[in-house]
């Protein structure tokens, strides 16, 4: 039982890292964030110009409006490219790997978690999960804690260190 739990957690962490890597490359995550920041900065400038009644600044910003809207449309569709890889991978793990490797797996947690999409419904909260349910929750935790909170900080530090090396040389 403990060994099965360990391997489900390993699958979850690996899946979270693969999803992150695919989102970063195919989904161009950094580009999406940069475009969103530009768009937010543009909107803030627009609001400031409206508050100050700065007609010249408003005209300048409105001339860039089409460019900003096009950039936002691109950012909406970029993540879907990553889903082309992530969804089939998830489907294979969900339908073939987990049932084949852990057919009778069950774990009872000391607390309840939602076991369905309608989490607001008290009837779907439960402490016992099979391999698939535990995989989902392990992936959520691995994705949020391991990848988003820890790995992104490690990656930023590593990239910052590399950038400093190039600046010195």
Identify the pLDDT of residue 159. 63
Buried-exposed string 132-149: b where 16+ CB fall within 10 A, e elsewhere = ebbbbbbbeebbeeebee
Above 80 in pLDDT, residue 166? no
30: left (phi over 0), alpha (psi -120 to 50) or beta: alpha
Local structure of 109: helix, strand or coil: strand
Above 90 in pLDDT, residue 167? no
Q: What is the pLDDT of residues 28-70, one digit of tens each?
A: 777 777 888 888 888 888 888 888 887 887 788 778 887 887 8
Q: Which domain holds residue 162?
A: 2-168
Identify the pLDDT of residue 97. 93
Domains in the chain, number: 1
Q: Could you give the residue ranges of the DSSP H alpha helices within 53-64?
A: 55-63
Buried-exposed string 30-67: b where 16+ CB fall within 10 A, e elsewhere = eebeebeebeeebeebbeebeeeeeeeeeeebeeeeee
Q: In terms of Cα–Cα distance, which of 3, 8, 2, 1 is closest to 135?
A: 8
């Amino acid at each position: 039982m403990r060994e099965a739990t360990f391997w489900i957690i390993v699958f979850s962490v690996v899946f979270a890292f693969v999803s992150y890597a695919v989102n970063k490359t195919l989904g161009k995550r950094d580009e999406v964030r940069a475009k969103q920041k530009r768009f937010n900065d543009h909107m803030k400038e627009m609001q400031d110009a409206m508050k100050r009644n700065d007609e010249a600044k408003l005209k300048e910003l409105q001339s860039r409006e089409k460019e900003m809207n096009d950039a936002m449309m691109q950012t909406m569709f970029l993540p879907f490219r990553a889903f082309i890889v992530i969804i089939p991978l998830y489907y294979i793990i969900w339908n073939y790997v987990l049932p084949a490797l852990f057919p009778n797996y069950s774990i009872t947690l000391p607390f309840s978690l939602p076991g369905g999409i309608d989490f607001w419904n008290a009837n779907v909260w439960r402490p016992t999960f099979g391999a698939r349910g535990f995989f989902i929750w392990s992936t959520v935790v691995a994705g949020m804690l391991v990848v988003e909170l820890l790995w992104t900080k490690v990656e930023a530090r590593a990239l910052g260190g590399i950038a400093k090396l190039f600046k010195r040389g």
